[in-house]
């Protein structure tokens, strides 16, 4: 198998992809078509302007057919994670990492973050895509089986055994009927007690099948050179292969019968996953099967990382918040509401023909990414932060890759939505910031963005929005360790 690194949303020519895997032009086109079909690779037209840019935004991506002889398109990977197409492995790393020869440990950490983010959903992604575009996701199934084995061990069925002088329950009827007693002082003493014990059935068909599948999955990951990336140890539990358990139809028949009598949820999940693996493995290997582990919505993961590390307060009740002073008159009656719920909602008013009016309040309203309440110079600060997965370039003469005007105005409105609460509760300071990832080892206060027309909307004035670049590696480690940080202590400019 061959593998290569690719940067998210970086432009690649058809020849770039061919050279990475030493492919023929025909083979390259087949692979690109498959990647485009499942939405992980997209195309952008080659123009003079595009040639001078290093990164693409989703708005500029266009859908087009792959022309074998065309040089009119670049191809980009709208994906972070691992993609396999047949024997070719695409290792796609986040767009904020500028080093093409990306270190192994960086992508390994990103994959651990993706795994933790997905773990809350508790779903095995058996298929890529939807409806007619779906394809069996072998890589996701292999990783699930290996991770489950490392956490829960091998599948087991138990059997009851009768043994002499064992540690289990004494079977008195059997002991009296089948063993000899020594009589002393008219009392029987039994030297050999018949006992019943429950043990794992080591030769159980499904236990051995599970061992064989785990071993085969480990070997597949090893041959794809992915064990290090996914931080999975090599596992060797079985010396034979799946042919020892019968042909595919027979194995699936046995699995289905076991599922009909198995009512333990974890065992049902394992049996179903093994069933899917065995049913699809050969078809996947014969053709140019595609498999993925990752996401094309890494912005959502960055939002979750920032929210958890900075102890997002949006879903905390007002009475449980650390505040400069007790809840004021306006908010005492709302003490059991979440901080998110005190933002005013739009009211749609109906005008009837008789000049009466009917108000309808809708549920949707402004929803900030993160609200953080923290100590700053011995006073409490109300921080309104928006986690932006942007690769901004902001210099004294140039800005690119920046959030749009809609993002800027919304960030001002988030502070405006909470201004009454901020003033009534006596917060001493307010911070407003965009939080963006960087590959650097320390945080950078890159600048700020201002819209003067909005400054007169409130008193005190709305805060300009800081542009803050946070070290992604450090943020990910805190997230993986479930660590909440003191934001001002770590980054004193916030």
Q: Give residue 331's pLDDT.
A: 92
The model's pLDDT over 376-410, given as tens digits with 9 standing for 90+, comes to 888 899 999 999 999 999 999 889 989 999 999 99
For range 274-301, the mean pLDDT = 81
CA-closest candidate to residue 55, choices 74, 32, 29: 74
Closest CA to 213 of 155, 266, 254: 155
The mean per-residue pLDDT over the stretch 126-141 comes to: 61
* pLDDT for residue 140 is more than 90: no
* Rounded-to-integer distance, Cα 143 and Cα 235, Å: 13
Q: What is the pTM of this model?
A: 0.81
Do the beta carbons of residue 292 and residue 137 sit within 8 Å? yes
pLDDT per residue over 426-437, tens digit each? 998 899 999 999
Q: Which of 97-111, 117-131, 137-151 has the lowest mean pLDDT?
A: 117-131
Nearest CA-CA partner of 428 in 354, 376, 476, 477: 376
> How far apart are alpha carbons 51 and 63 in whole angstroms?
18
Element (H, E) at 200: strand 194-200
User: How high is the pLDDT of residue 53?
Assistant: 45
Q: What is the DSSP letter of 333?
A: T
What is the band of 103 on the pLDDT scale with cuts at 50, 70, 90?
A: confident
pLDDT tens track for 237-249: 999 999 999 999 9
Alpha carbon distances (Å) from 106 to 93, 100, 298, 431, 474: 9, 12, 15, 31, 11
How far apart, in whole angstroms, are the C-alpha atoms of residue 210 and residue 136?
A: 20
Could you tell me which of 149, 159, 158, 157 has the C-alpha nearest to residue 237?
Answer: 149
Task: Give the CA count within 13 Å in the CB-facing half-sphere of 490.
Answer: 18
User: Which residues, 6 or more positions from 123, have their beta carbon under 8 angstroms from its beta carbon?
Assistant: none
**Average model confidence (pLDDT) across the chain:** 84
Task: Please indicate whether residue 466 or residue 179 has the higher confidence score (pLDDT).
Answer: 466
**pLDDT score of 62:** 47
Q: What is the pLDDT of residue 159?
A: 54
Instruction: Give pLDDT, residue 101.
Output: 63
Where do we find the tokens 């993160």? 370
Query: CB under 8 Å to 4, separation ≥6 — which residues?
Result: 20, 21, 89, 90, 91
Residues 214 and 90: their CA atoms lie apart, in Å, by: 24
pLDDT for position 193: 74
Confidence band, pLDDT 50/70/90 cuts, at residue 285: low
* Host H or E run for residue 6: strand 2-7
Q: Please calculate the CA angle 218-220-226 and round it to the nearest 5 degrees.
A: 80
Q: Tens digit of pLDDT for each residue in 182-241?
A: 777 778 777 787 776 655 555 788 989 999 999 999 998 888 888 888 888 899 999 999
Extract the tokens encoding 233.
């140890």
Cβ neighbours of residue 64 closer than 8 Å, sequence gap 6 or more: 43, 45, 73
What is the per-residue pLDDT for 132?
Answer: 44
| Listed range (80-94, 265-279, 369-383, 445-459) with the worst mean pLDDT | 445-459
- Structure confidence at residue 69 (pLDDT): 54
CA-based radius of gyration for the chain: 30
Identify which has the larger pLDDT, 373 or 177.
Answer: 373
Residue 54 has pLDDT above 70, yes or no: no
* pLDDT, average across residues 297-316: 95
Q: For the chain, what percentages of helix, strand and coil (3-state, to nearest 5) are there? A: 40, 25, 35
Asked if residue 314 has pLDDT above 70, the reply is yes
Distance of CA 31 to the CA centre of its chain: 26
Residue 295 scores a pLDDT above 70: yes
- Split at pLDDT 50, 70, 90, the class of 125 is low
CA distance 195 to 172: 8
Phi/psi of residue 258, nearest 5 degrees: -65, -35
Residues 335-360: tens digit of each pLDDT:
999 999 999 888 888 888 777 777 78
Nearest 10 degrees: Cα torsion 271, 285, 135, 226 = 80
> What's the whole-number mean pLDDT along residues 143-172?
78
Residue 70: band (very low, low, confident or very high) from pLDDT cuts 50, 70, 90: low
% of the chain exceeding 90 in pLDDT = 47
Residue 255 has pLDDT above 90, yes or no: yes
Q: What are the tokens at 108?
A: 């390994």
Q: What is d(CA 485, CA 476) in angstroms, rounded to the nearest whole number?
A: 12
Q: What confidence score (pLDDT) does residue 135 get?
A: 55
**How far from 27 is each of 68, 182, 299, CA to CA, in Å?**
10, 84, 32
d(CA 250, CA 257): 11
Q: CA 25, CA 66: separation in Å to the nearest integer?
A: 11
Length of the chain counted residue by residue: 494
Do residues 408 and 451 touch, judged by C-beta distance below 8 A?
yes
Q: What is the dihedral of CA 199, 202, 206, 210, to 10 degrees?
A: 110
The two tokens of residue 384 are 């309104």
Give, in degrees to the nearest 5, the angle at Cα 392 between 115 and 109: 20
Tokens in use for 256?
């289905």
């Amino acid at each position: 198998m061959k593998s290569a690194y690719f940067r998210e949303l970086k432009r690649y020519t058809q020849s770039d992809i061919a050279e990475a895997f030493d492919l023929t032009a025909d083979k390259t086109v087949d692979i690109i078509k498959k990647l485009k079909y499942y939405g992980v690779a997209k195309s952008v037209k080659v123009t003079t302007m595009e040639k001078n840019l290093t990164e693409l935004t989703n708005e500029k991506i266009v859908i087009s057919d792959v022309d074998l002889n065309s040089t009119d398109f670049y191809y980009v990977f709208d994906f972070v994670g691992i993609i396999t197409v047949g024997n070719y492995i695409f290792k796609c790393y986040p767009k904020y990492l500028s080093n093409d020869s990306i270190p192994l440990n960086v992508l390994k950490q990103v994959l651990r973050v993706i795994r933790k983010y997905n773990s809350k959903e508790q779903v095995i992604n058996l298929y890529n895509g939807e409806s007619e575009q779906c394809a069996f996701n072998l890589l996701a199934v292999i990783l699930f089986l290996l991770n489950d084995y490392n956490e829960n061990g091998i599948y087991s069925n138990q059997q009851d055994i009768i043994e002499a002088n064992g540690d289990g329950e004494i079977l008195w009827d059997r002991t009296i009927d089948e063993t000899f007693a020594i009589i002393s002082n008219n009392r029987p003493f039994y030297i050999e007690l018949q006992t019943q014990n429950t043990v794992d059935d080591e030769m159980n068909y499904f236990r051995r099948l599970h061992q064989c599948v785990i071993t085969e999955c480990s070997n597949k990951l090893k041959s794809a050179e992915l064990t290090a990336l996914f931080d999975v140890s090599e596992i060797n539990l079985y010396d034979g292969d799946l042919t020892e358990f019968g042909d595919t139809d027979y194995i699936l028949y046995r699995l289905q019968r076991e599922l009909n009598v198995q009512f333990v949820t974890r065992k049902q999940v394992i049996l179903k996953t093994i069933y899917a693996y065995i049913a699809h493995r050969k078809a996947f290997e014969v053709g140019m099967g595609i498999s993925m582990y990752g996401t094309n919505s890494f912005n959502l993961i960055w939002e979750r990382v920032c929210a958890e590390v900075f102890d997002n307060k949006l879903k905390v009740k007002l009475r449980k918040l650390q505040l400069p002073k007790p809840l004021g008159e306006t908010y005492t009656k709302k003490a059991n509401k979440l901080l998110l719920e005190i933002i005013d909602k739009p009211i749609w008013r109906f005008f009837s023909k008789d000049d009466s009016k009917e108000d309808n309040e809708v549920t949707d309203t402004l929803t900030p990414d993160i609200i953080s309440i923290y100590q700053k110079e011995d006073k409490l600060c109300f921080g309104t932060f928006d986690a932006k997965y942007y690769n901004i370039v902001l210099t004294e003469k140039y800005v690119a890759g920046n959030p749009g005007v809609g993002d800027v105005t919304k960030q001002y409105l988030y502070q405006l939505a909470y201004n009454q609460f901020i003033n009534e509760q006596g917060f001493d300071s307010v911070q407003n910031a965009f939080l963006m990832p960087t590959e650097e080892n320390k945080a950078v206060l890159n600048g700020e963005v201002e819209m003067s027309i909005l400054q007169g909307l409130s008193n005190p004035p709305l805060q300009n929005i800081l542009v803050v670049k946070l070290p992604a590696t450090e943020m990910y480690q805190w997230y993986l360790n479930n660590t909440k940080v003191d934001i001002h202590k770590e980054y004193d400019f916030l």
